[in-house]
């Protein structure tokens, strides 16, 4: 049973769903309803050919306590109804933690995909979600050696298997399908290859106070080439609340994109500027330089290899966004694009009474 609810989880679900089909494994999909806008949810199921969810909890927005609590309550019935061999939870969202808590209390085995990532910033809700989920889970599916090392340091090495990164699977497949076409952002704005940067900003640290959000937007507008920001609902809602226009200077605002359009737009961009976790790594895999508006990253390999730079808003951001490309590399810390088959194999091998 896969439990998902937020946009990055739908991307990770796609290769797992397809690997389950290939292996003939019965796969129940539960959607918590954390993300409900069609452009954050339905379009991912359609474009990535994911079967429709078997269960939809319809939880929606709320404070962390309200949202997580509602999912936790609803998950109990769903787990008892289906009695899964494994509850597979993804990443670090409130949906991840709620499903893990429900399963561990009901004594159903939990596997955590993307286990062991750490920012070591306990003010991020995602950091709390991932630490608690790792400690509740029976099987820790780590994407990288660095993640496995973190789990080892927390005494969890006995439950850890390095499987590679499933986002790499879906990214490579999508890249190969879209590589020859101009990106929708190029077509819409008349940009040529490499003329623009693509931005996304949604983290509470960058959006919740007016000063910080204004500073980030001003910096994006001051970059020396066009920047197109894909407005996550949190960004749109917070900008409205603070009375701020998003577009300014060189910054243009665009609705979120479906996954293949996002991949094409990042592939043909000069750079990516983001506070998203997944997009930092996707930029590296597409060999588009990334500027990350955060003090830490979970994907440290991207920084070590010079493809990602961590910045604060202001001059630092503006300078980093127009830096030259680093030297090319063929290092592959995120696996070879076949992680999902390995995940399913490990799950089958570790199923009790199989």
The DSSP result for 232-247, as a single string, is -HHHHHHHHHTT--S-
Residue closer to ligand UD1, measured from CB, 94 or 212: 94
Q: Given the complex with ligand UD1, which of 68 and 183 has the nearer CB atom?
A: 68
For residues 128 and 272, give the distance between their C-alpha atoms in angstroms, rounded to a whole number.
Answer: 27
Catalytic residue from among 35, 112, 202, 254: 202
The owner of tokens 């604060």 is 312
Whether the Cβ atoms of residue 337 and residue 172 lie closer than 8 Å to each other: yes
Q: How far is the CB of 120 from ligand UD1 (least distance, A)?
A: 16
Q: How far is the CB of 34 from ligand UD1 (least distance, A)?
A: 5
How many Å apart are CA 232 and CA 136, to the nearest integer? 30
- What kind and span of H or E run contains 74? helix 64-82
Q: How far is the CB of 324 from ligand UD1 (least distance, A)?
A: 29
Neighbours of 66 (CB within 10 A): 13
35 catalytically annotated: no
CA distances to 22, 213, 236, 242 from 239, rounded to whole Å, are: 44, 8, 5, 5
CB nearer to ligand UD1: pick between 79 and 117: 117
Least distance in angstroms from the C-beta of 215 to ligand UD1: 19
The 10 Å Cβ neighbour count of residue 249 is 14
Smallest distance from ligand UD1 to CB 85, Å = 26
Q: List contacts with ligand UD1 (CB under 6 A).
A: 6-8, 34-37, 40, 61, 92-94, 125-126, 202, 232-234, 237
Q: Which residue matches tokens 């850890």?
A: 160
- Rounded-to-integer distance, Cα 240 and Cα 249, Å: 19
User: Which sequence positions are flagged as catalytic?
Assistant: 202
């Amino acid at each position: 049973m896969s439990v998902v609810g937020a946009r990055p989880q739908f991307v990770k679900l796609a290769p797992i769903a397809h690997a389950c089909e290939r292996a003939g494994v019965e796969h129940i999909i539960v959607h918590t309803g954390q993300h409900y806008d069609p452009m954050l949810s339905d379009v991912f199921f359609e474009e990535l050919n994911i079967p429709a969810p078997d269960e939809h909890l319809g939880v929606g927005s709320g404070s962390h306590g309200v949202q997580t609590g509602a999912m936790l309550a609803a998950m109990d019935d769903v787990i008892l109804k289906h009695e899964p061999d494994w509850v597979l939870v993804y990443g670090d969202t409130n949906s991840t933690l709620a499903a893990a808590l429900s399963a561990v209390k009901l004594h159903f085995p939990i596997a955590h995909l993307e286990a062991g990532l750490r920012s070591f910033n306990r003010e991020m809700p995602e950091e709390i979600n991932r630490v608690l989920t790792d400690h509740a889970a029976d099987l820790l599916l780590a994407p990288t050696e660095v993640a496995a090392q973190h789990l080892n340091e927390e005494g969890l090495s006995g439950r850890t298997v390095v499987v590679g990164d499933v986002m790499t699977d879906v990214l490579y497949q999508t890249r190969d399908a879209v590589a020859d076409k101009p990106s929708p952002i190029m077509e819409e704005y008349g940009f040529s290859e490499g003329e623009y940067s693509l931005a996304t900003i949604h983290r509470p640290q960058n959006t919740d106070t007016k000063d910080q959000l204004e500073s980030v937007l001003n910096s994006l507008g001051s970059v020396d080439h066009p920047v197109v920001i894909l407005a996550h609902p949190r960004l749109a809602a917070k900008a409205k609340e603070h009375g701020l226009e998003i577009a300014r200077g060189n910054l243009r605002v665009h609705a979120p994109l479906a996954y293949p359009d996002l991949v094409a737009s990042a592939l043909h961009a000069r750079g990516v500027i983001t506070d998203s976790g997944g997009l930092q790594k996707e930029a590296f895999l597409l060999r588009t330089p990334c500027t990350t508006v955060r003090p830490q990253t979970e994907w440290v390999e991207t920084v070590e290899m010079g493809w990602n730079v961590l910045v604060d808003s202001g001059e630092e951001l503006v300078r980093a966004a127009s830096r030259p490309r680093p030297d090319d590399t063929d290092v592959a810390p995120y696996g070879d694009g076949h992680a999902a088959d390995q995940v399913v194999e490990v799950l089958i091998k570790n199923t009790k009474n199989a």
